Structure 1
Amino acid sequence: MKKTKLAAVAAVAVIFCALGVVFGSKTKEAAPLTTAMAPTSGAAHTASTNLYARTLDDLAGKPQALSQWKGKPLLINFWATWCGPCVQEMPELSAIADEEAAKDANKRFNIIGVGIDSTTAMSEFAAKHKIKYPLLVGGMGGTDIAREFGNANGGLPFTVLIGADGQVRKTYLGKLKFDELKADLAGL
């Protein structure tokens, strides 16, 4: 009798596992949460002003003033080496940066990555992958920067599109949908 019950329980478990696989594979990936910050009558958002007032180290340990990207549209991607979706989207972000750089020396926009990680982990990652845009070390303080742009829970990846005027055009929480991003970049 015990063997019959055990076989029945095992059969039910197998059925539920199969149903989970079938329905799980048909579920669409959740779209990233995109938002726009309220317009400020042409003035830069406070978060952008605060961003451009900061200095972060690059992977070589050299301080980089974020003000060097002021005055041109900027796509800033907050990421970490331990974040699967972050790592997955970086090659395509790198391809976009490479395409933009190839168009001409006066790029329409810049891309930078702010790692919520250690310099060592980021340097090892950069040595392994060929990223075509600047990577800056934000450490845990990078989460505070992302929070200023509305990422209250510090989720990653988190990307912010800032116009040349300092206005935040859009924020993206979660893995980027590149068709949407490319359309947003084309609209700058």
Structure 2
Amino acid sequence: MKRNILVFGAIALASAISGIYFSASKITPAASSAAALSPVVAQLFKQSLPDSNGKEQPLAQFQGKALVLNFWATWCAPCVQEMPELSGLQAELTPKDVQLLGIGIDSPSNIAEFATKYKIAYPLYVAGMSGTELSRQLGNAAGGLPFTVLIGRDGQVKKTYLGRLKLAELRGDIASM
């Protein structure tokens, strides 16, 4: 019995050492680079979405910026309640080179009407129902709204928020990036 424990212990130690060696030797500059985008963010930046005026906009224009993506809909009461606060937050974020984007899971006409009526101070894009899948890819397993994603300048998802935002928490998370 003691012999078996020693043999298994030696095998485990040898496996651990070889695992550390091989994983360390396979790190490439691209894999260790902070500039490498996460695959889901890279996919996000390959997309173009119509803005609230119906004009197609490439999301790649925001690559390299810190982003706050807010998935919302006109029929979602908590979404609508937090939008005036988010408009105010965009004014604070602009000097810090942080961009807030609204990704609407709604019809183009509803989003256009909403944008005009409420004078939202950040870009609103129309994703329609495909926006639900996009939010799932970014971490929204429940598929609920509102859903917000904080993406760093390095193209990595830093944090996700499901439900109505607590602005103090979001401000703190942005400041710590």
TM-score normalised to structure 2 length: 0.78
* Larger relative contact order (CA 8 Å, sep ≥ 6): 1
Deviation >6 Å, runs of 4+: none
Task: Give the partner amino acid of 2:110.
Answer: A
Partners of 1:63 and 1:124 lie apart in 2 by 17
Task: Give the partner amino acid of 1:72.
Answer: K
Alignment of 1:75-94 (within 5 A): 75-94=68-87
2:104 corresponding residue in structure 1: 115
Among 33, 54, 62, the residue aligned to 1:61: 54
Among 170, 174, 186, the residue aligned to 2:163: 174
2:44 corresponding residue in structure 1: 51
1:158 corresponding residue in structure 2: 147
Equivalent residue of 2:155, what SS?
coil
Unaligned runs of 5+ in 1: 1-39
Partners of 1:74 and 1:99 lie apart in 2 by 13
Equivalent residue of 2:148, what SS?
strand
Q: CA offsets per residue over residues 51-80 of structure 1, 9 Å max, x none?
A: 001000011111100000000111100000
Partners of 2:93 and 2:133 lie apart in 1 by 29
Equivalent residue of 1:172, what SS?
strand
Q: Is 1:147 aligned with 2:136?
A: yes
TM-score normalised to structure 1 length: 0.74
Equivalent residue of 1:78, what SS?
strand
RMSD (CA atoms)? 1.3
1:95 corresponding residue in structure 2: 88
Unaligned runs of 5+ in 2: 1-30
Q: 1:185: how far off?
A: 1.1
Partners of 2:138 and 2:153 lie apart in 1 by 16
Task: Give the partner amino acid of 2:133.
Answer: D
Task: Give the partner amino acid of 2:153.
Answer: A
Q: 1:153: how far off?
A: 2.6
Greater percentage in helix: 2
Task: Give the partner amino acid of 2:119.
Answer: K
Alignment of 1:19-58 (within 5 A): 41=32, 42=34, 43-58=36-51
Q: CA offsets per residue over residues 80-135 of structure 1, 9 Å max, x none?
A: 0000000011111100112233x3xxx42111000000011111111110210000
Equivalent residue of 2:145, what SS?
coil
Partners of 2:93 and 2:65 lie apart in 1 by 13
